[in-house]
Structure 1
Amino acid sequence: MSPSHLSSLYPQHLETLQARAAEALRRSGHDYLVIPSGTLHYQAFDDRDYPYAVNPQFKAWLPLTQAPGSWLVITPGARPKLIFLQPHDYWHVVPAAPAGYWAGHFDIEVIRTADAAIRLLPPVFRCAIVGEPQSALGSYVPNNPEPVVQYLEYHRAFKTPYEIEMMREASRIGVRAHRAAERAFRAGASEFGIHLAYCQAAGQDANDLPYGNIVALNEHAAVLHYTHRDRLPPAPVRSFLIDAGASFGGYASDITRTYSAADDEFAAMIRAVDAAQLELCDMVRAGTDYAHIHLQAHRLLAGVLRDFGILKVSPEDALARGVSSAFFPHGIGHGIGLQVHDVAGLAASDAGGTIAKPDGHPYLRLTRTLAPGMVVTIEPGIYFIDMLLDELKAKGQGDAVDWDRVDAFKPYGGIRIEDDVVCTDDAPINLTREAFAG
């Protein structure tokens, strides 16, 4: 990633954020937007800290992800101010002085103690302070005014060109690591070994990644958020599902791929799901109801299940009867950006409200109508989960399924294919496929 390229995109990004902040403050009646970066949290009855996670509202403005105790002050019509904590410390690594393509756009005050920020902050009664309760400093307690939070979170769905470029680089890093993970799988590594190969290739430790890697061999792929990571591989190894992303400047990628150990019937099913996934990715178009993509995913996946002899009923019947949900129990995806599951996915407007999920589909994380600048994941899956299949039988829907065929595929666990896709004024941009093609 060329710093000069980011430098050319960043001013427009900052201008967009300043306009959003001004409108959010107008709605709440405050004069300043104050954003703490967050602080370290310590484990109960111990002196060990949890991994630090920067406030997403903070890293939206600048690519600082390791700056606990710092603050941003946004004043409409003025340059933003960064109060940067750079303590005198010989126990820990001290954050480097602010530098790079973004730093010249801020008035920067360096402080040596966290309490020193108080004298640099505007009058507290005029501030909308957006952050977690633990970020409180004296009388500067996050008040998270609802009009401010609702407005900023709603509009975070619309990424600037700068943000798209940050996510493009996160995708490149993630794809590089995915390739290393597949090589480790083909070489016979354990789940834990594959995870280590992934981190090494990404150049990111577990706490640097945007979420915990899902590395699942065989039946473990039927656990949607499997993060146990066995130290020894199973015998025999049949299949491999990896759901893992990467970070760049505070932005996330979220990528899932599934592989078969042999060119067998399960490999053919993976190819069929992949074809369906690409069809769904092409639906990421301006004006499309995201919930419609979710329902179409059920129809396409039910068609795959029928083609492989698992379902005895039509795709429409499988959707209407809830049969498809036993094999595809999660949502088709979510917004992504500063957070893997980006906020305001159900928001009706920037003033609040909720867009309901379709009946019978409680796990869908996004119900908004797509518009240019939105970035979403598309992640259809087929799984063989005993609990859900038993529930299907208990509901009297067992006649829709060929249970011998289910038994044949159950040792493989499941399939998921996931890409990060940008909605534009024209055809969608698939950041994940673009990175794999590079």
Structure 2
Amino acid sequence: MTADLAQRYADHLAILQRRAAAALERGGFDHLVVPSGTQHFQVFDDRDYPYAVNPQFKAWVPLTRNPGSWLVHTPGERPKLLYLQPYDYWHVVPEAPSGVWVEHFDIVVIRTPEEALSHLPANPSRCAILGEPQSALGDFTPNNPEPVLQYLDYHRAYKSAYEIEMIAQATVRGVRGHRAAERTFRAGASEFGIHLAYCQAAGQDATELPYGNIVALNTHCAVLHYTQLDRLPPKPLRSFLIDAGASHAGYACDITRTWAHDRDSEFQALIDAVERVQLDLCDRFVAGADYRRLHLDAHLLLAGVLREFGVLRMSAESALESGVSAKFFPHGLGHGIGLQVHDVGGFAASDTGGTLDKPDGHPYLRLTRTLEPGMVVTNEPGVYFADLLMQELRDGPHAADVDWDRVDAFRPYGGIRIEDELVVAESGVPRNLTREEFARTAS
């Protein structure tokens, strides 16, 4: 770490300690105990699933490959890290903890998972233990007390300067992968080939990426979470949608881009129109904005694009009110991002609980809070011509408000999604981490 980043980390740790102390007081506990997680094995087999670190653990330390370790925080004391470094000749043994961050912890190296028991607090009943059931060790069984989680999850939406830098560094990897993916698409590769090119450029394999890459060609672009990865490219090659991220020190980025193979095609013009909507929305991600309103604004703007391109005959307002716009834009506008791709606390009314409801008719929105400075959220409007949803629309009461010849013209291209990550500022427009990196690497 640079001196500046080291200071940001120290400030971040101080924030976590304050939050933990407040959360423990809310729950009536003396200690916060967080296991890093354990390996999971497939049923009737000795093969393990890819290890995924407990997000509550990696919030404190930049460790993502250390199952069997524990974090202990007692207010007023230095946090303690129980670091599992086993004797093992079957696998690579984790190196000793190193880096500027280690100076902030009392670190105890343990050689077996069971050794942690002698270093954990004496009374498990006085501990808020945050983790999954498989992490239980002796009497230290994760209890995940609601008052503690409600407080921590709510405040996780506000990112420290250190966290924003980690997301930005993940974005550097992600943009590198996206640029390689577009080049590989232009060269005529298959979905699988594009995926491999992405991983190579990002420097991460499928188990290191924060989520499975969505690499879709032609009609596959209409499948929101398409992960099939065909081994042969379709003929003719029409369109390409990639929704792919990267990781850095436990933090994720999440980026989506769409391209037409023919840069002069009408579908590319439609992509450009959706991108203009996305950029318009980006400027609205300001402190005080209700994310639910932004989602509805996206529907109005996208319905206007569909009307402009002759797909819809009804007004944007009617398309939203009738649910027609949701047939073309069926998912939410975005979500919080950070330690998890879909970060927790998106519906939290306060740090004491409660839920902010989604707008009626919009069940897939993942964020309903009012935007505040320090939040990092995504903006990902889209337009899709999915067979199932188009058939539902054709069979419904508003079929006459759609030009089905226009739908059929766009159907072979699948759909469009454009996604950026935005840091909400104290005032004015947000910082766009995604476009900032695309601009920095422009040739």
> Any idea what SS the aligned residue of 1:415 has?
strand
Question: Counterpart in 2 of 1:289?
Answer: 290
How far has the Cα of 1:386 moved from its partner?
1.2
Question: Counterpart in 1 of 2:240?
Answer: 240
> Any idea what SS the aligned residue of 1:83 has?
strand
Q: Deviations over 1:123-161 (max 9, x none)?
A: 212111000000000110001111001110110000000
In structure 1, what residue type is equivalent to 2:40?
Answer: H
Which aligned pairs between 1:72-221 and structure 2 lie closer than 5 A?
Answer: 72-122=71-121, 123-221=123-221
TM-score by length of 2: 0.98
> Any idea what SS the aligned residue of 1:102 has?
helix
How far has the Cα of 1:4 moved from its partner?
3.1
Q: Deviations over 1:373-427 (max 9, x none)?
A: 1111000000001111111122211011100000000000000000000111122
How far has the Cα of 1:264 moved from its partner?
0.6
How far has the Cα of 1:5 moved from its partner?
3.1
> Any idea what SS the aligned residue of 2:38 has?
coil
> Any idea what SS the aligned residue of 2:365 has?
coil
Structure 2 stretches of 5 or more lacking a match? Answer: none
Q: Deviations over 1:46-78 (max 9, x none)?
A: 000000000000000111000100000001011
Q: Is the 8 A contact 1:254 1:418 kept in 2?
A: yes
How many Å separate the matches in 1 of 2:198 and 2:310? 35
Q: Deviations over 1:4-50 (max 9, x none)?
A: 33212111100000000000000111000000000000000000000
How far has the Cα of 1:283 moved from its partner?
1.0
Which aligned pairs between 1:208-287 and structure 2 lie closer than 5 A?
Answer: 208-262=208-262, 263-287=264-288
Q: Is the 8 A contact 1:4 1:101 kept in 2?
A: no
Are residue 64 (structure 1) and residue 63 (structure 2) matched? yes
How many Å separate the matches in 2 of 1:153 and 1:253? 19
How many Å separate the matches in 1 of 2:389 and 2:161? 42
Are residue 379 (structure 1) and residue 380 (structure 2) matched? yes
> Any idea what SS the aligned residue of 1:259 has?
strand
How far has the Cα of 1:281 moved from its partner?
1.0
Question: Counterpart in 2 of 1:34?
Answer: 33
How many Å separate the matches in 2 of 1:324 and 1:186? 31
Which aligned pairs between 1:329-408 and structure 2 lie closer than 5 A?
Answer: 329-408=330-409
How many Å separate the matches in 2 of 1:322 and 1:51? 40
Structure 1 stretches of 5 or more lacking a match? Answer: none
In structure 2, what residue type is equivalent to 1:351?
Answer: T
How many Å separate the matches in 2 of 1:392 and 1:298? 16
How many Å separate the matches in 1 of 2:95 and 2:380? 38
How far has the Cα of 1:227 moved from its partner?
0.2
How many Å separate the matches in 2 of 1:4 and 1:204? 27
Q: RMSD between aligned alpha carbons?
A: 0.7
How far has the Cα of 1:344 moved from its partner?
1.2
Give the percent of matched residue pairs that are identical in Structure 1 and Structure 2. Answer: 69
> Any idea what SS the aligned residue of 1:358 has?
coil
Question: Counterpart in 2 of 1:434?
Answer: 436
How many Å separate the matches in 2 of 1:299 and 1:178? 29
Q: Deviations over 1:236-256 (max 9, x none)?
A: 000000000000000000000
In structure 2, what residue type is equivalent to 1:253?
Answer: C
How many Å separate the matches in 2 of 1:306 and 1:374? 33
In structure 2, what residue type is equivalent to 1:300?
Answer: L
> Any idea what SS the aligned residue of 2:100 has?
coil
Q: Deviations over 1:283-307 (max 9, x none)?
A: 1111110001100000010011011
